[in-house]
Amino acid sequence: MKLVMNPYDKYAVEAALQLREVLGGTIVGVSMAPPHAVDAIREALAMGVDEFILLSDKRLAGSDTLATSYALSMVLRRLWGKLGGVDLVLCGVESADSNTAHIGPQVAEWLDLPSVSYVDKILEVGGGYAKVRKIIEGAPWS
C-alpha cells in the first residue's frame, strides 16, 4: 500500500514554510513509518522541507501512540543537539489511520515543552513564544 502524507501533516508543513519565509531557519521533517513511506517524504521535500528524517525499524511496527511519541521525541532530542536548538515543533492534528490526536501532545510532554492542539492559525512567533488561534467547538468565531 502506498503511504501518502495526510492533510493535517500538509497543513503543518505549509505553516512551517510560511514561518520560514518570514523568519528564516531550517525545516526538518520527521516521521515514523515503514520504509515504503518514501513517496510521502518526497512530497514534503518537494513542498520545500529542507531535510527529512524517516524513523523506520521493524521493532517499531505496531507501536501505540505512547511508544511512537517517545521514539519521535528521541529523534527531536538528537536534532536539538545537532542543530543547537529547535525553536518550534509543528505536528499534524492526527494520523489518517488511527485518528487519535495523541502524538503531538505526547511528544511535547516527553520533551517538557508547552503544547497547543487544534491550532487554526499561527498569529505571531518570536521572542520564545507563539501566539495562535485555537479551534474550540462552539466558540463564537468558529
Instruction: Please check whether residue 135 lies inside any domain of the structure.
Output: no
Read off the pLDDT of residues 40-49 as tens digits, 9 standing for 90 and up: 899 999 999 9
The pTM (predicted TM-score) of the whole model is 0.81
Instruction: Please check whether residue 34 lies inside any domain of the structure.
Output: yes
According to the model, what pLDDT value does residue 51 have?
A: 93
Q: Are the beta carbons of 104 and 25 closer than 8 angstroms?
A: no
Q: What share of the chain is helix, strand, coil (3-state, %, to 5)?
A: 40, 15, 40
Q: Domain residues for 110?
A: 7-116
Spatial distance between the Cα atoms of 59 and 123, rounded to a whole number of angstroms: 40
Provide the grid cell at 8. 493535517
Instruction: Please check whether residue 137 lies inside any domain of the structure.
Output: no
The CATH number given to whatever domain includes residue 90 is 3.40.50.620
Provide the grid cell at 9. 501533516
| Average pLDDT, integer, range 105-122 | 88
**Total number of domains in the chain:** 1
Instruction: Please check whether residue 90 lies inside any domain of the structure.
Output: yes
CA 62, 65, 66, 68 dihedral sign is: positive
